[in-house]
Amino acid sequence: MRTPGGRECDYYYEDCYRGRDLRECRISRGAHVRRWHPHDCEACEVPEILAANSSEDLELVLTQRATWLGLGNRTVLEAWCARHMVPVDDPRRGCPECAKEMPLPDPEE
Ligand SMILES: [Zn+2]
């Protein structure tokens, strides 16, 4: 669906028919991650990641992580491969283990 930031995102959901006003981000959120606000979509990198990587095994999770000096927390986006259960350092490129399994694109597709 198209987000308030104007981009397509699989995690965004809205239902505004017949007086309903439901808008939400359905990405996984860790404990203590603050609630989603429509403004969050404007600077969010998730739509770009989904456009670059269409793997169904890619799992994106928002988590809180302590900052470098331990002064407070910041929200970071973590990517995991659901098939190999490994963190994905560069979600735009995807899981390195999956890449090893699929060296060539299928010409039939
Ligand atoms: Zn993988």
Of 35-49, 64-78, 95-109, where does mean pLDDT reach its minimum? Answer: 95-109
DSSP state of 80: E
pTM of the model: 0.81
CA of 91 to the centre of ligand 1 (A): 11
Mean pLDDT for the chain overall: 90
CA of 100 to the centre of ligand 1 (A): 9
Distance from chain centroid for Cα 35: 15
Q: What does the pLDDT look like over 66-99, one tens digit per residue?
A: 887 777 788 899 999 999 999 999 999 999 999 8
pLDDT above 70: residue 39: yes
Q: Pick the closest to residue 80 from 66, 91, 92 (CA basis).
A: 91
Residues 2, 34: Cα–Cα separation, whole Å: 22
